Amino acid sequence: MIVHYGKYADIDIEDCKSVYRPAEDTFLLMDYLIPGNRVLEIGCGTGIISVYCAKLGRKVTCCDISDAALDCTEKNVIRNKVTVEVINSSLFDNIEGKFDTIIFNPPYLPVEDRIEEAEQWNGGKEGFDVIRPFLKKAKDFLEISGSIYLILSSLTSIDKLISEFPQYSFILTASESYFFETIFLYHVFPKP
């Protein structure tokens, strides 16, 4: 199914089987995102955020570990007639260069699901199994004035995570509450 998102630079995005569909966390991020000139999206899914940034005239690189997500992103890039470099990479493993903006809507739920496709939401017991290694390396891929947009959940101990990474300033930008959780968008800056 193809969905038109007029609010977001008139993009058309196909939802693909086995790929995380744009949801509330995606739209929270897009509503407050101010991308720099060179953008990296980690875990691109359908590619909606990368396509949106490319439509805004940014130079975009995105990656995912899922072949289905990479195929879906490629389709959506072509559909929207934009240029995005799409890379198969686990976090930063195959990424080169530095970026003004790094975007990550990670698997953040504190679960240990073993079912197929659980990597889309499974953040491990504390919810940080993917976020911690991301934050350990992200600073190395940022330009001096670069920043990160990161989604986190009230179902996790956000204060604990922030205290583990004193090399960053976490600025709460926006949040949305639902009956079972609140999702938070943080704008994260490396400290000098």
Do the domain assignments include residue 45? Answer: yes
Residue ranges making up the domain that contains 68: 24-190
The span from the CA of 77 to the CA of 74, in Å, is 5
- Asked whether residue 186 carries a pLDDT value surpassing 90, the answer given is yes
Do the domain assignments include residue 42? Answer: yes
- The pLDDT value recorded for residue 132 is 93
Question: Strand, coil or helix: what is 15?
Answer: coil
Choice among 10-14, 156-160, 167-171 with the minimum mean pLDDT = 156-160
- The pLDDT value recorded for residue 95 is 98
Q: Which residue has the tokens 């008139």?
A: 10
CATH number at residue 177: 3.40.50.150
Which tens digits make up the pLDDT trace of 145-159? 999 999 999 888 899
CB 58 within 8 A of CB 39: yes
Do the domain assignments include residue 91? Answer: yes
Q: Which two tokens stand for residue 69?
A: 């997500």
How, if at all, do strands 84-88 and 59-64 pair?
Answer: parallel
The span from the CA of 168 to the CA of 150, in Å, is 12
- The pLDDT value recorded for residue 122 is 47
Do the domain assignments include residue 11? Answer: no
Q: Which residue has the tokens 């897009």?
A: 30
Please work out, in degrees rounded to the nearest 5, the angle formed at the alpha carbon of residue 184 by the alpha carbons of 180 and 189: 160
Residue 20 CA, chain-centre distance (Å), reads 11
The total domain count for the chain is: 1
**H-helix or E-strand spanning residue 45:** none
Mean pLDDT of the chain: 91
Q: Where are the beta strands (DSSP E) in the chain?
A: 2-5, 11-14, 38-42, 59-64, 84-88, 99-104, 142-153, 168-177, 182-190
More confident residue, 57 or 18: 57
The span from the CA of 139 to the CA of 77, in Å, is 27
Do the domain assignments include residue 15? Answer: no
- Asked whether residue 88 carries a pLDDT value surpassing 50, the answer given is yes
The span from the CA of 106 to the CA of 122, in Å, is 9
More confident residue, 172 or 130: 172
Do the domain assignments include residue 122? Answer: yes
Which tens digits make up the pLDDT trace of 89-123? 999 999 999 999 999 999 765 556 555 554 544 44
How, if at all, do strands 38-42 and 84-88 pair?
Answer: unpaired
The span from the CA of 168 to the CA of 135, in Å, is 9
